Structure 1
């Protein structure tokens, strides 16, 4: 389909489009840097979480943090009204409309923060965590910082400058982690997370401004503002629905089961997100920009999406199967015995994590091809179906019932809906099956190895290492036939 245009895009479109070979090199280089960045940051977050869970914070504090994080993420989805994506997606020189984007993003984030500041006690009470109101007010300062940072960060994404992003994210991580650890061990509880998040976002804003000089310039063009809102509001709505899908469970658990159960659930959900964040997040930093460049060629888009999905699923399946099959021993080894209730929900959440990876890539592809109506309908279906199922699951089975409800809705309703929407964009079931067949076969074989080894070896530390090694070796043998497809030819069609 035709790409989105600004009023001045036609005059600079010819000069803005990169050569095919250049695009392929840019995407591959950005993907490598993004993967390195994400792995390093997530390993650092993983180590920090272990320190906090073992020595500083208990389930109740994690529950308060979970509520504050959930509210922040939901608000961030609509923070700059979706107009920030225009920096990445629109043709032409983005510096011509960036000042209007910055003004819109800053104004909307400021209004959102004012709203959450005054309503924080009410929101925290409704979510079953009255102690979270102060944490909410501090953590949601990140809304304002994010609204300002969207423009320089968008320039870095548009230019595939993931090397610079890695440096910025490292600064963010070091400062936020240092502040969080110091305050947590000083007895600040969940507030330590909020102060750390704000400190890290300040560092990220400064880093983005230095890496993309001249982009923090306010301005206003009414015609551009109308075009930006027309482009961004549907995307903001779809993004809001997408994050509601991921975070409505926290609200249900907090209001239905209390802070302690929520703490166990948040820990299990964060563990289930390890593969999603490490692999999928790295891919998503370049997938939207890459799919946007291929949107004009249905065949190239289908091939690029299929290969990207194949790489993601191949890398994620073994992590999901290992964490699901060895949930109890892993939780006990990493976090200690007091966190073992979280292990009961983990296998179901790992299945959900695997589904989310495919859905998030499909989301980026549909955004890039302009399928905004389909996105909103799919996300609305997901949220509307999910809420009653999660409420019933919480009452019947606690955090395990909530996790099972997630998988039921995602696999039974959402995956078929995304498949249909992708089909409308020219990506057939054949492309999806080609990407997923060998990894799913390998994952099934891995699960059988884990079940057998657990019966024979038990659940000790040595048995855990032997079982994991044997399962991974089995998986590698199963997916070897797909290596040519995953590596592919280095063509401009490869995302």
Structure 2
């Protein structure tokens, strides 16, 4: 049986160490992805990203099923046996194989939907990567359970580098959109090799009566919820790819990707630390709530100012990162900014569902919000990609608070506590953005894209100054500073104990 008592003895220290390790690795991940995105944007055309993006948007409904939600079952359970994880491994393998087979079989139908024969072969090619990904799901879940976030982060960075190097080499040789397929396989294969070699865990044959039935049920709810969440996030790409153009989708998808890239580098590592920690505080409501608000505060302290800065300095950022040919992205980038701002904290609702094992409730919430979002996408479609972007931002504003209120029902978390946590970073981020916008209106360097670094320094200084004057801001900054005293090297442990 996997011994997690060391986590209970000092949860705070382990969580802070994990957060520190993952934040460092995510900083490396951000640099790798930003550099790779900049190079690929100059080697490929917007239409290349469009044809690949619309294919992935449609195939993703099956791709998200490859884990069967079983990784959450491994992480969330207070105790889990070797026999259970072994059985889940073989279930993951079967689900991944079935999903890959189904995806390849649906290739002709997807090509017919888009009226584009290129989609057929892209679908068939991408099917194999689903099976590759399914091989390492339980190994990664075990490392998350052991809070080996530094190792996981290093593996992610290394795998991304492999994928981007292979994609850039392919694009340089004129592979076009196939370079993005090469990137997918390069990343997946590198992840598989590195995760399995780092975990040092091998499964036994599956066993009947190992007690995985409740875990499979939880995983099924999680998978269905993931499908609905994917529809929320990707139906816009499908509609633009089908009814507008590949070029428009290329602009839209890159705007969305660039805008959310820094947020993902913040939210993902924090979430990977928070969910296992909260899962072990299920029976301690006060500690659960305190840890939750603290994590949300840290996440928004970092994420909200990044989004506001990107919106103010959009022209310069697009020129520097993507190049002059991508300037039509700017209006889409700014319109999607509202959705991205809300995205700095709406992931926190998923923490509660996952930590408390309430995947069925999450599924019900997604079943309500998904049709609303898709309906909004259709309503914005007559105005093209910009109309869809506006519809997305509007629905995020309208739905986020009711969704959190429903999520918190019956939990130690309250909407009032969440509002109190969010008000300081939101005020500081928006205030600093307005100040920078005023400075840029009269600054002599406002038309010089390379001065984006100076803009960033000015914004950061104003943001921190506002934190020093808002009520409670100084105390919050001192609390974050105190976390540094807990950051000590941690020796990684093997997956099997």
Check whether the contact 1:151–1:215 (CA below 8 A) recurs between aligned residues. no
Query: Cα distance 1:305–1:73, how it changes in 2: closer, same or farther (>3 A)?
Result: farther
Mapped pair 1:260 → 2:254: no
- 5 Å-filtered alignment, 1:177-192, equals 177-192=164-179
Q: Distance in 2 between matches of 1:467 and 1:172?
A: 32
Secondary structure in 2 aligned to 1:37? helix
Of the candidates 189, 199, 204, which is equivalent to residue 186 of structure 2? Answer: 199
**CA deviation after TM superposition for structure 1 residue 446, in Å:** 1.6
Query: Cα distance 1:466–1:202, how it changes in 2: closer, same or farther (>3 A)?
Result: closer
TM-score by length of 1: 0.91
More helix by share: 1
**CA deviation after TM superposition for structure 1 residue 128, in Å:** 5.6
Q: Distance in 1 between matches of 2:204 and 2:190?
A: 19
Of the candidates 417, 431, 438, which is equivalent to residue 431 of structure 1? Answer: 417
Mapped pair 1:471 → 2:459: yes
Q: Deviations over 1:38-94 (max 9, x none)?
A: 12122111111111111x100100112212333454333221221222221123243
**CA deviation after TM superposition for structure 1 residue 382, in Å:** 2.0
Mapped pair 1:104 → 2:98: no
Mapped pair 1:310 → 2:297: yes
- Aligned position for 2:12: 24
Q: Deviations over 1:449-479 (max 9, x none)?
A: 1321232124323664444332221111112
**CA deviation after TM superposition for structure 1 residue 426, in Å:** 1.9
Q: Deviations over 1:337-378 (max 9, x none)?
A: 211111101123222122123121221222111222331122
Deviates further, 436-445 or 480-489: 480-489
Query: Cα distance 1:160–1:256, how it changes in 2: closer, same or farther (>3 A)?
Result: same
Q: Distance in 1 between matches of 2:161 and 2:167?
A: 10
TM-score by length of 2: 0.90
Q: Flag structure 1 segments of 5+ consecutive residues without an equivalent.
A: 1-11
Secondary structure in 2 aligned to 1:338? helix
Mapped pair 1:357 → 2:344: yes
Q: Distance in 1 between matches of 2:467 and 2:211?
A: 49
- 5 Å-filtered alignment, 1:71-220, equals 71-127=58-114, 129-220=116-207
- Aligned position for 1:418: 404
Q: Distance in 1 between matches of 2:458 and 2:176?
A: 40
Secondary structure in 2 aligned to 1:357? coil
Secondary structure in 2 aligned to 1:469? helix
Q: Distance in 1 between matches of 2:365 and 2:325?
A: 39
Q: Distance in 2 between matches of 1:460 and 1:128?
A: 42
- Number of equivalenced pairs: 478
Q: Distance in 1 between matches of 2:410 and 2:152?
A: 34
Q: Deviations over 1:281-315 (max 9, x none)?
A: 11122121111111221211111111111101110
Q: Flag structure 2 segments of 5+ consecutive residues without an equivalent.
A: 487-497
Query: Cα distance 1:306–1:487, how it changes in 2: closer, same or farther (>3 A)?
Result: farther
Query: Cα distance 1:222–1:126, how it changes in 2: closer, same or farther (>3 A)?
Result: farther
Mapped pair 1:235 → 2:222: yes
Secondary structure in 2 aligned to 1:345? helix
Of the candidates 11, 19, 30, which is equivalent to residue 42 of structure 1? Answer: 30
Secondary structure in 2 aligned to 1:358? coil
- Aligned position for 2:47: 60
Q: Distance in 2 between matches of 1:436 and 1:95?
A: 41
Query: Cα distance 1:279–1:128, how it changes in 2: closer, same or farther (>3 A)?
Result: farther
Cα RMSD over matched residues?
2.2
Mapped pair 1:301 → 2:284: no
